[in-house]
A and B are shown apart, each in its own frame.
Chain A
Amino acid sequence: VATQVEPIRYPLPWYRGRVMSWVVSTDHKKIGILYLGTSLTFFVAGGILALLIRTQLIQANTDFIVREDYNKIVTMHGTTMVFLAIVPVWAGFANFLIPLMIGARDMAFPRLNALSYWLFLFGGILLYSSWFATGGAPDAGWTSYPPLSVQSQGVGQDLWILSLHVLTVSSLAGAINFIVTIQNLRTAGMTWMRMPLFAWTIYVYAWLLVAVLPALSAGLTLLLLDRQFDTNFFRPDEGGNAILYQHVFWFFGHPEVYIMILPAFGVISEVLPVFSRKPIFGYKAIAFSSVAIGFLSMLVWAHHMFTVGMPVWLQAYFMIASMLIGIPTGMKIYNWIATTWRGNLQFDTAMLFALGFIVVFTIGGLSGIFVAAYPFDWQAQDSYFVVAHFHYVLMGGATFSLFAALFYWWPKIFGRMLDERLGKWTFWLFFIGFNVTFQPQHLLGLLGMNRRVYNYPDENLWNSYNLISSIGSYVMGLGILLFIANVVITTRRGRRAGNDPWIANTLEWYTTSPPPAYNFETVPYVTSARPLRDLRRRIGERLE
C-alpha cells in the first residue's frame, strides 16, 4: 500500500509574516512605502477636513460646522497637512529613493530610520486621538498662538503639543539619517556635483530640519509649561511676553515652508529633464540656489508678524530678506523653463504635473512679493489673500510635485505603471479645481474676508467667490478620487514597468522594479550626473 506523503509545511518564522515583516523591517524601501502610505492617508484626512471647511463656507449663514467645531477643524486641517502629510511624504520619497539614487544598499542608520517612521505614525495617531479626548481636538489654529492656546480648555491642546514633540523627534532622527547617508554612502564616482538634484534638495531639507526643529521643541515646551505648570512665559501680567512664542514658532515655521517645498524643487528638477529628453539647464545654479534658499529662509521669520507692531526699520529688514528669496527661486523657474526648450517633450502625467507646478508655484511666488511688502501685508495678513498665497505655494507647490513624483516613481516602487488616461484626468481636474478654488480667495482677501471664520457678510460678491471656491474644491476632490481609483485598478492589472520605463537618468532606474532588498548587484562607476544615460551610450557604442 502506497502511502501518500504530505509535504511538510514549515510555518514562516514570526518576523516574516505578511504584517510582521513590515513592522520589524529596517529596509529603507519598506519604511519609505510605510511613510508614503501613512502620509497619503493623513493627506486624504486633511483633505476631507478641507472639504468640510469649504462646505461650511459655500454660502453666508450656513449652519454646518460653526464656532468651536469650526476652529477645531481648521486647526486639525493645518496641522495635518503640514506635519502629517507634506513633511513626511518627502521623508517617504527620500527614504525610498535616496539610497537608490546614490547607489547605496540602505540608509546609514537603518534602525534609527525605523524609529523615525514609528514615531511619526504614533505622533499622528496621538494627534487624531484628541478628537476623543476631554474637550475634543485642539482649537487654537495650527500656529497655536498663546494666550489663546494657553486658555484653550480640555486636553486637545496638550495632545497637540505632545504629538508635535513626538513628530519633532521623528523628523530630527530622520534628518540626521539623511545627512549622514548622503554625505557618506554615495557610490564610487558620485561627487557632489554628480549627485541627483533631488538628493541635493533632501540634503538641504535635512539640514534645515536639524537647524530649526529645536526652536519648535523649545516653544512647545514653554507652551506646555504655561498650560500645565502655571509658568508665565507668555503671560504679560506676570512678566511674560505673548509675542515671544510667535518669534520662536516662525523661526521654525518659515524654514518649515522650505522644508516642504525644497524636495518639491528636487522632484521637478528630476522629472523635467527626463520628459524633455535633455539635461537639466544650469545644474549648479539649481543646486546652489537650493542651499541659498535654505540659508535665507532662516532670516525672514518675522514677515509672518508684520502686524504685531514692529519698528519700521525692522519691518524693512524682514521685507528685504524675504524678497531676496525670490531671486534664487526665480532662477530655478527660468532654469526649468530653459530645460524644456527644444526638448522632445513627452506629456506623460508626471510631466503635466511638473509643468502645472511651474505655473501655480509662479503665481504663489508672485503673491509672495505682494505680502513681503510690509504695508500691503498689513492688509493681506490673516486675510484670504494670504490663505490663497500659501495654498498656491504649499498646496500648489507640494501637491503638484507630489503627484509628479507619484506618477514618475510609482513604477519603480511597485513595479507597475499607473494608468495614464486616468492620470491625465486627475491632472486636469486637479489643475482646474485648484485654480478655481484658490484664485477667488485672493479676491475675497481684497474684499476684507479674514481667516478662520465660519461666516461672512451675506453679500453678492462674497457669496459668489465663496461658492466658486467651494465648487473648485469639490473638483479637486474628484481628481483625488480618480487617483485612488487609479491605484486600486492598476495594483492588480497595471502594466509591468520593467527597470526603466521612462528612459531616465539616475541610478534608481538601474535596478529592477521593485528593487530587491539589497538594491543593486553592482553599481556602475558614476562619471556624470546622468549615469544611466552614460551607460546607455556606452552600450550603444559597443553594439555599433
Chain B
Amino acid sequence: VQRRNFVAVFLIALAVVLAGSWFGFSRIEGVSPVEPASSAAAAINDLYIFIGVFAAVIFLSVAIPLALIISRYRERGLPREAEGPQVRGNTRLEVGWTAASVVIVLVIVAFTLYKGHNLNDPDRSFRTAAGDRVLAATEPGLEIAVEGRQYYWRYVYPNGAVSIDRLRLPVDREADLAVTAPDRDVIHSWWAPALNGKMDAIPGVTNHLQFRPTRVGVFEGRCAELCGIQHTAMTLSVEVMPADEFDAWLERAGDAQPDLGKELFEGVCSKCHFAAPEYAPNIIGNPLLADGPRVKQLVQNGIRQMPAVGRGWSERELDALAEYVQQFGGGGGS
C-alpha cells in the first residue's frame, strides 16, 4: 500500500507540474506573457520560458520529496514521544544540492546575458526576427522623444510632429525611444508589454528603449510608476503601421496636423476635466476657453491644483489646443 502511495503522489505531482508548464509555455492567451510583437519582447519571452523550465524542475525537486514524505510518514500511530532517526546532516548530500544550485544559477545567468546583453543598449548590435545579427551602426533607429507627464504621454517625432498617448511606429524598423520627463514633473514608466519591458521616464534623465516591431497592430500599454491621482488614467497605445503608410503619415504630420487640437484636448485636458469631477470642474461652456491667449497662458503655467500641463509645448501645439477649445467656450452663445 505504501509503495502505491509513493507512485500515486509522484504521478499526480508530475502531472500537475507538467500540465502547468505546458499551459505556461504554450501560447495560450492568459497564461503566458502578452504575445511578443518585437525583437526585444521576443527575446524576453524566450528568457521567461527558459527560466520557467528550471523553475518547474526546482519546484518538483521540492514538492515531490515533500509530498512523498508527508504521505509516507504521516499518522503512523506512534506517540509524540517516539523519535525518528537522529540524523543531524549529511555533508555529501548538502554539498551536492549546494553545487547543483550553483550550476543552475550559472546557467540561468549565462542565458540571461546571452539574451539580454544587447537589449536597450546604445552600442548593441540588433537581431532581426530571423535571428540574423545586424550591426546597429548600419541602421540608426528612428529616434522619437517620449515625455511622461502628469498624466499623459507626449511623443515628438524627428520632423517635429507630435502625438499624445498613441505612438505610431513603422513595422520592421528599429525604434529608439528617448524616454524622459520634464523637470517639474514626477517619475513615470513607459510600458507596452508586447513591444519591450518598461523604461522609467525620470525628470533630468533621458533613457533609451529600443526594439524592432515585427507585427502590424495596435498594442496597449500603461504608465507603470505611481505618478499621482490619475496614474490609472495614464494609459498609452502603440500603433505599428506598414512602413510606407508610416512614412506617408509622418510626412503629412510634419507639415500640418489638423487633429492635433483634439488629440491634445482628449489626452491632456479631458482626463481630469470630465473624468475626475471631484478635482477638476467641467469646463464646457466656460467663456475663458474662447480666449486663446488666456488658454495658452493657463496650460503653460497651471493654476491652483492644475499642473502646468503645457509647459514646454511648441507654438504649434498651443495654437492647436487654443483653436480647438474655442468651440466649448461660447457658453452656448456663439
Residues of A within 8 A of B (CB): 66-68, 70-71, 74, 139-141, 145, 147-148, 151, 235-237, 241-243, 276-285, 307-309, 312, 315-316, 319-320, 323-324, 326-327, 330-331, 333-335, 337-338, 340-347, 355, 358-359, 362-363, 366-367, 369-370, 373-379, 381-383, 443, 446-448, 450-455, 457, 461, 465, 502-503
B130 to chain A, nearest CB (A): 20
Q: List 23 A-B contacts (CB under 8 A).
A: A147-B187, A148-B227, A237-B204, A242-B187, A278-B87, A326-B101, A327-B105, A334-B94, A334-B97, A338-B93, A340-B73, A342-B73, A344-B73, A344-B80, A358-B62, A367-B55, A369-B54, A376-B44, A378-B199, A379-B33, A381-B189, A448-B34, A450-B223
Contacting residues, chain B, for A316 (C-beta < 8 A): 109, 113, 117
Assess whether B112 is in contact with A358, with CB atoms less than 8 Å apart.
no
Q: Are A370 and B202 in contact (CB under 8 A)?
A: no
Apart from the given pairs A68-B229, A236-B183, 12 other A-B contacts in the complex at a CB distance below 8 Å:
A282-B90, A327-B102, A331-B98, A337-B66, A338-B87, A378-B199, A446-B31, A448-B34, A448-B193, A448-B222, A450-B223, A455-B232
Report the separation of the CA atoms of residues A457 and B112 in the bound assembly, to the nearest whole angstrom: 32
Asked if B102 contacts A237 (CB within 8 A), the reply is: no
Question: In the bound complex, how far is the Cα of B200 from the Cα of A145, in angstroms?
Answer: 13
- By beta carbon, the residue of chain B nearest A465 is B30
A316–chain B nearest beta-carbon distance, Å = 6
Contact residues in A for B326 (Cβ distance below 8 Å)? none
Contacts of B117 in A (CB 8 A): 312, 316
Whether A359 touches B63, Cβ cut-off 8 Å, given contacts A279-B88, A283-B89, A375-B116, is yes
Determine the chain A residues whose CB is within 8 A of the CB of B81 once the complex forms: 503
- Do residues B55 and A375 form an inter-chain contact, with CB atoms below 8 A? no
Shortest distance between the CB of A406 and any CB in chain B (Å): 20
**Residue of A342, A378, A447 touching B44 (CB-CB under 8 A):** A378
Assembled-state Cα–Cα distance A503/B112 (Å): 49
Residues of B within 8 A of A333 (CB): 62
Q: How far is the CB of A542 from chain B (nearest CB, A)?
A: 17
**Are A309 and B226 in touch, CB under 8 angstroms?**
no
Tell me if A242 and B227 are in contact (CB < 8 A). no
| Bound CA span A451–B74, Å | 42
Contacts of A140 in B (CB 8 A): 226
Chain A proximity of B104: nearest CB distance (Å): 8
Q: How far is the CB of B124 from chain A (nearest CB, A)?
A: 8
Distance to closest chain B CB from A323 (angstroms): 5
Asked, given contacts A359-B63, A443-B30, A450-B224, whether A343 binds B98 with beta carbons under 8 Å apart, the answer is: no
Q: How far is the CA of A388 from the CA of B48 in the complex (A)?
A: 16
Q: How far is the CA of A100 from the CA of B223 in the complex (A)?
A: 51
For B83, what are the chain A residues with a Cβ–Cβ distance below 8 Å? Answer: 277-278, 344
Question: What string of 1s and 0s marks CB contacts (under 8 Å) between B267-295 and chain A?
Answer: 00000000010110000000000000000
Does the CB pair B84–A276 fall under 8 Å? yes
Residues of B within 8 A of A373 (CB): 47, 51, 108, 112, 116
CB-based contact A236/B200 at 8 Å = no
Complex CA gap A503/B83 in Å reads: 11
Tell me the residues in window 26-58 of chain B with beta carbons closer than 8 Å to chain A beta carbons.
29-34, 43-44, 47-48, 51-52, 54-55, 58
Q: Which residues of A contact B101 (CB under 8 A)?
A: 326-327, 330-331
Which of B29, B98, B205, B223 has a CB less than 8 Å from the CB of A309?
B205
Q: Are A448 and B221 in contact (CB under 8 A)?
A: yes
B313 within 8 A of A: no
Q: Is B302 an interface residue (CB 8 A)?
A: no
* A373 to B54 CA separation, bound complex (whole angstroms): 13
CA distance A451 to B58 in the complex (A): 28
Task: Give complex CA distance A324, B204 in Å.
Answer: 33
Q: Which of A278, A383, A461 contacts B86 (CB 8 A)?
A: A278
Residue from A237, A282, A453, A502 within 8 A of B183 (CB atoms): A237
A67–B69 CB distance below 8 A: no
Complex partner residue of B220 from A141, A324, A457, CB under 8 angstroms: A457
A323 touches B86 (CB 8 A): no
Q: How many residues of chain B are within 8 Å of chain A by beta carbon?
A: 90
Whether B51 pairs with A376 at a CB distance below 8 angstroms is yes
Contact digits for B71-83, partner A, Cβ 8 Å, 1 yes 0 no: 0011110101111
Q: Is B316 an interface residue, CB under 8 A from the partner?
A: no
Given contacts A67-B232, A344-B73, A383-B224, contact A375 B43 (CB under 8 A): yes
B94 and A337 within 8 A (CB) = no
* Min C-beta distance of A529 to chain B, whole Å: 9
B145 to chain A, nearest CB (A): 15
Residues of A contacting B119 in the complex (Cβ-Cβ under 8 angstroms) = 375
B249 contacts which chain A residues (CB < 8 A)?
Answer: none
A307 near B199 with CB under 8 A, answer: yes
Leading 4 A-B pairs by shortest Cβ distance? A378-B197, A236-B204, A309-B207, A237-B183
Contact B196 A378 (CB under 8 A): yes
Contact residues in A for B189 (Cβ distance below 8 Å): 307, 381-382
Nearest Cβ in chain B — how far from A69, in angstroms?
9
Q: A68-B229, A282-B89, A455-B232 are in contact. Are A307 and B197 (CB under 8 A)?
A: yes
- A54 and B180 alpha carbons, distance in the complex (Å): 32
The interface residues of chain A lying within 8 Å CB-to-CB of B203 are 147, 235-237, 242
Are A323 and B105 in contact (CB-based, < 8 A)? yes
Report B-chain residues with C-beta under 8 Å of the C-beta of A450: 191, 222-224
Task: Verify A446–B54 contact, CB threshold 8 A.
Answer: no
A345-B44 contact, Cβ under 8 Å, with A145-B187, A278-B85, A337-B62: no
Q: Are B55 and A369 in contact (CB under 8 A)?
A: yes
Q: Are A309 and B199 in contact (CB under 8 A)?
A: yes
- Cα of A457 to Cα of B34 in the assembled complex, Å: 14
User: Is the CB of B115 closer than 8 A to any CB of chain A?
Assistant: yes
Residues of A close to B65: CB separation below 8 A: 337, 341
- Distance to closest chain A CB from B270 (angstroms): 15
Of A71, A236, A370, A465, the contact of B226 (CB 8 Å cutoff): A71
What is the CA–CA distance of A239 and B57 in the complex, to the nearest angstrom? 49
Contact A343 B73, beta carbon cutoff 8 Å: yes
Cβ distance A436 to chain B, nearest Cβ, rounded Å: 15
Q: How far is the CB of B92 from chain A (nearest CB, A)?
A: 12
CB B105 to nearest CB in A, in angstroms, measures: 5
Q: Which of B84, B185, B220 is the one whose CB lies under 8 Å from A448?
A: B220
Which one of B44, B98, B204 lies within 8 Å of A379 (CB-CB)? B44
B63 to chain A, nearest CB (A): 7
> A340 CA to B70 CA in the complex, in Å?
8
Chain A's nearest CB lies how many Å from the CB of B129? 18
Q: How far is the CA of A345 from the CA of B279 in the complex (A)?
A: 60
CB-CB under 8 A for A279 and B73, given A309-B200, A338-B93, A375-B116: no
Shortest Cβ distance from residue B108 to the other chain A in the assembled complex, whole angstroms: 7
- Which B residues are CB-close (under 8 A) to A337? 62, 65-66, 69
The smallest beta-carbon distance between B185 and chain A, in angstroms, is: 7
Q: Are A147 and B186 interface neighbours, CB within 8 A?
A: yes
Taking the complex as formed, is B133 at the interface, i.e. its CB lies under 8 A from any CB of chain A? no
Measured CA separation A284–B95 after assembly (Å): 13
Q: B77: nearest residue on chain A (CB-CB)?
A: A344
B47 nearest CB neighbor, chain A only:
A376
Residue of A whose beta carbon sits closest to that of B272: A67
Known A-B contacts A309-B202, A344-B82; A382 and B59 likewise in contact (beta carbons under 8 Å): no
Check B331 for interface membership: any CB of A closer than 8 A. Answer: no
Contact of B225 with A382 in the complex, beta carbons under 8 Å: yes
Residues on B with beta carbons closer than 8 Å to the beta carbon of A355: 66, 70
- Find the residue from B98, B196, B221 having the highest chain A CB count within 10 A: B98
Expressed in whole angstroms, the minimum distance between the Cβ of B277 and any Cβ of chain A is 11
A459 CB, nearest partner CB in chain B, Å: 10
Q: Which residues of B contact A280 (CB under 8 A)?
A: 88
Q: Contact at A345–B74, with CB atoms within 8 Å?
A: yes
A347 to B207, CA, bound (A): 54
Interface centre among A241, A335, A369, A379 (most CB of B within 10 A): A379
